[in-house]
Amino acid sequence: TEAVSLKTETGRIPSLPEKIFVEYSNGGTEELPVEWETIPEGLLHTPGKYIIEGKLHQTLFEKPLIYHRADPHIYKHTDGKYYFTASYTDMDHNLDGKYQYLYIILRRADTLAGLADGSGTYEEKIVYERKPINNGTMSPHIWAPEIHYIHGSWYIYYTTTISDESPWRIRPHCLECRDQDPLTGKWEEKGPLVSSVEGDIAFTDFSLDHTYFNHRGKDYILWAQKTNNISDIFIAQLSNPWTLCTPAIRLTHPEYNWELHGFPVDEGPGVIKHDGRIFITFSASGTDAMYCVGLLYADEDADLLSSSSWTKLPYPVFQSSKETGQYGLGHNSFTKSDDDSQDLIIYHGRQEERYLVEEDYQPLYDAGRNASVGKIYWDKNGMPDFSVPAMGIVCSEDRLKVKAEIIVE
């Protein structure tokens, strides 16, 4: 932590800093608020050196924040309110596929902590639902909803099947709400996303997990799509929230062992910008304990529609931890802390270590994926460090303590 040393005159209480810089083990630094102990009356009446203790303030979140919700997405609106949505799973009918992924539920709170299941301070509403398909025997697979505010209207991106018989013919879809309150406003189905580019491969096969971002006035979409049963990440530009106006460009393809466990999968892209770069996280492998997060990044001045602009790290940046009992981490989104000072990752994980090879285990229909919040630590090179997934308090009381030296002359 930053050394704090102040000089003062006899009997005069100095003004202690409200924030101090801390340096993390990855070389990154951050300015954190500090609460100093009250200086006892009369302490500074004699010349000498005195030590005053303080405590750094770190935002800590209940973990998990929200139970039985996979593929979590949190959007912080311009008015400071938080909106949460995710893939809905039903623990009362755990592992029974026809009861999973039937709804899009939107939750709103004034603070991030207010979204927590036990907060009692959030509003919640079902904004979209489908009945089980194939004569009521199969889930329609409403997956990975995200809420975005785009050019004055609300949009929810989600995936669902385009078939009444098969749950696997899934494609990206879009809902639109032109009212300013998305919990009371009317949602209109815009249908599956389409490409205006003749002969484009976008959405011609199993495709899902689309996410939106704007960069320098241009709207972009990322999504996952299978080719020959291998799931890749693609990017294109949008002319409106449900129409692509440029060809689909492949950004990443499963190639490393950590992307190939169970199934060859790259999916669930999420976008965050920092220090002149655009970062794309993506999730890899099957949805059991081997599920993990990879990373792409590009310079903010680069051509984002050129695959050569993007660098892919050859290792996962966020993964299961036996030490903390967190497994199958992934399909994340990003948001800001209440005071906008911290970048946060929103992700799902399991508190049970299970694998696809187990007999009769279907992790897709296991409602044990829960949504959590983690802090991003930016290193000295401007790269994100997602650290080890923690449960409960992430920093001991001793490590939160700081000291200030006051020299009385």
Instruction: Please list the active-site residues.
Output: 71, 267
Residue 341 carries which side chain, given as an amino acid letter?
S
Cα distance between residue 37 and residue 52, in whole Å: 7
- Residue 397 in 3-state DSSP? helix
Cα three-residue angle 252-157-137, rounded to 5 degrees: 95
Question: Is 90 in a helix, a strand, or coil?
Answer: coil
CA distances from 255 to 266, 284, 292, 356 (A): 10, 10, 14, 20
- Structure-derived torsion over alpha carbons of residues 72, 170, 196, 153, reported in degrees to the nearest 10: -40
Cβ(269)–Cβ(233) below 8 Å: yes
Q: Do strands 243-244 and 194-195 pair parallel, antiparallel, or not at all (unpaired)?
A: parallel
Q: Which residue has the tokens 């051509």?
A: 303
Query: How large is the C-alpha radius of gyration of the chain?
Result: 24
Cβ proximity of 367 and 89 under 8 Å: yes
